[in-house]
Structure 1
């Protein structure tokens, strides 16, 4: 099989721009809505939301690679790197590294991507690793860089990257193309097209010994933000994690061709879904501010702690809803107090109750529309 980088026209990707027009327009319209809604956030809520979005990206981009991180440690690290008050909890190297990388990504989102930045990201993500030969530099090994699955005696090769000797030349071409294709460059490209091309191009080179998936997704996030009038978080990693199997399948298909319309349409659909997921979080933060303002003076310390914990769980809330046992765990309240507190929260309209007896559950009394998948047929 010939991989895309082995084909004569590499890296001259081709695509049907007309089929992507609706997706590009939809994305820019969504960005305008998200930016407009975000302007209603107070300063404290805006900072808290940015920390939450960065921590979700850090955790979810790692989870795609099978690495599970501690949410509180990641958030604490992000706050510390932003110069904000944090609980100073000790983070593991992987958590501290990806947190610092996310802060660097969003603080310098408007700057052109440089080789030195990628090497710094690699040092952060590989923090504490002893199994890698090349840290903070492009891979140099002589063995083929392959993505494989299946048993050792009969592995399936999903992709093989260019030899290490070609990596620097390939990366020089990619980084030059990113500068030329930026919105104020000599050959500007639309947001989704540029980010989607950069992602498959970078993943096809696979320039590092490890961490390529995280960097490819970070590059997509950076390029999407650069295409907006006001840089904003799209939140690609969370959506790609939700579609991880399909994501890997789409990448595998795209690795075998230079005609990438299907890949770009798939990427565009997930970017728009990610954008809507992030907008949903913004609306949820606004709803939280309104709710806590309305309830000011009506809550005791236990009730306020429980509500804040529910809000911290995000728009989807506790899996299965809040139970009396959950409430006791959060507040350390005894059973009788828990019953009174929850009944009061329902009576003042803070919570909705469903079920009876042991099946009784409570949810925030906030109307947030469910997140609907984006249908490819509606875009192309």
Structure 2
């Protein structure tokens, strides 16, 4: 029996008081994160916001197995949120849609949820495909069962079957009425709303990404401003357990205590991930304060390329060969530039050496105040 077939559906059961400690952690982490961002100069606040949204746009798609080009998503976000007319326009519609979702969720945090808003979010992440039978911007209407299946030919397994399409608007009306009137703490509201939405599975495609957007919306409303937490990034790190927990709530009873415990843990991890991203932006700003006047155009180009990789850094480090390729210069020039960067303390050598020496950016300076 699927959860929505339970005679008491959708009267979920959970003990709100059991999560009081986790809720307090959420409030404290949120306040610290927002305080860190608010202390940044305005230009770096924008940089931090873009970095957080970039991570989320890429990871919420990655959870569904869709890999997006980082630079395409970043430039799309810049155009939307920073009004950066110099950012290149990309033809990658999936990247543009993922960016648009992040920006719209951020802009609409104080709006009530509605069928129209959810439809708009879904149409952003599901790009138009000629001859596709997938409905965009509206709930599914096919008389065929909506099933999540796995396995291979001859051993097909139905992991989940959602409520029939004929009941979707009625089911969503009940959920949205609850969502827009509940007074539950934000993390609990986010957990319950995400679970409820995924069980209904109202769209032909894009339910996971829209469901996580709903969770962000709930957190934002509880904070009275758009959340900075990297929820999708946290979930992508723990994707196997996330899907396992979704499976449990889809074909179990109506008790959500285990799910809520898991989801709030992911929310609090998301705050820590966001703090790391913000610290990276701050460190980058301090790095440029210290070194930019010492660098030539090639060195700046190389360092910008490293920074573009975000907190994960440049895979394999910086080598002379990579420097030649990225900066379009001779080996001798690359060697001189890297030697100069090493001398000024902008980079440091990784373990090993000789002809295959590799480098990384030196640890960010934390002893200098960032000028407003």
1:336 is the counterpart of 2:337: no
CA, structure 1 residues 367+268, in 2 after alignment: closer, same or farther (shift >3 Å)?
farther
Query: Structure 2 CA distance, aligned partners of 1:361 and 1:189?
Result: 52
- TM-score, structure 2 as length reference: 0.92
Indicate if the aligned counterparts of 1:112 and 1:179 stay in contact, CA closer than 8 A.
Answer: yes
Paired residue for 2:186, among 187, 191, 201? 191
Query: Structure 2 CA distance, aligned partners of 1:261 and 1:357?
Result: 57
1:288-303 → structure 2 map (5 Å cutoff): 288-303=284-299
- How many positions carry a matched residue from both structures? 361
SS of structure 2 residue aligned to 1:137: coil
Deviation at 1:4, TM superposition (A): 1.3
CA, structure 1 residues 230+109, in 2 after alignment: closer, same or farther (shift >3 Å)?
closer
CA, structure 1 residues 358+65, in 2 after alignment: closer, same or farther (shift >3 Å)?
farther
Deviation at 1:353, TM superposition (A): 1.0
Which structure 1 residue ranges, 5 or more long, are not aligned?
A: 182-187, 369-380
CA, structure 1 residues 55+315, in 2 after alignment: closer, same or farther (shift >3 Å)?
closer
CA RMSD of aligned residues (A): 1.8
CA, structure 1 residues 197+358, in 2 after alignment: closer, same or farther (shift >3 Å)?
farther
Paired residue for 1:224, among 216, 219, 222? 219
Indicate if the aligned counterparts of 1:15 and 1:261 stay in contact, CA closer than 8 A.
Answer: yes
1:327 is the counterpart of 2:323: yes
Indicate if the aligned counterparts of 2:134 and 2:205 stay in contact, CA closer than 8 A.
Answer: no
SS of structure 2 residue aligned to 1:124: helix
Paired residue for 1:279, among 275, 280, 285? 275
Query: Structure 2 CA distance, aligned partners of 1:309 and 1:81?
Result: 22
Paired residue for 1:239, among 219, 234, 241? 234
SS of structure 2 residue aligned to 1:320: coil
1:362 is the counterpart of 2:359: yes
- TM-score, structure 1 as length reference: 0.90
1:88-99 → structure 2 map (5 Å cutoff): 88-99=88-99
CA, structure 1 residues 29+293, in 2 after alignment: closer, same or farther (shift >3 Å)?
same
Query: Structure 2 CA distance, aligned partners of 1:287 and 1:102?
Result: 24
SS of structure 1 residue aligned to 2:181: helix
Alignment-derived partner of residue 369 in structure 2: none
Deviation at 1:31, TM superposition (A): 0.5
Deviations 1:170-203 (CA, angstroms, capped at 9, x unpaired):
101111111112xxxxxx1112111011111000
Indicate if the aligned counterparts of 2:292 and 2:300 stay in contact, CA closer than 8 A.
Answer: no
1:313 is the counterpart of 2:344: no
1:1-380 → structure 2 map (5 Å cutoff): 2-82=1-81, 83-130=83-130, 131-181=132-182, 188-255=183-250, 256-354=252-350, 355-366=352-363
CA, structure 1 residues 9+86, in 2 after alignment: closer, same or farther (shift >3 Å)?
farther
Deviation at 1:133, TM superposition (A): 4.5
Indicate if the aligned counterparts of 2:13 and 2:254 stay in contact, CA closer than 8 A.
Answer: yes
SS of structure 2 residue aligned to 1:227: helix
CA, structure 1 residues 116+329, in 2 after alignment: closer, same or farther (shift >3 Å)?
same
Deviations 1:347-372 (CA, angstroms, capped at 9, x unpaired):
2222121121254222222269xxxx
Indicate if the aligned counterparts of 1:147 and 1:157 stay in contact, CA closer than 8 A.
Answer: yes
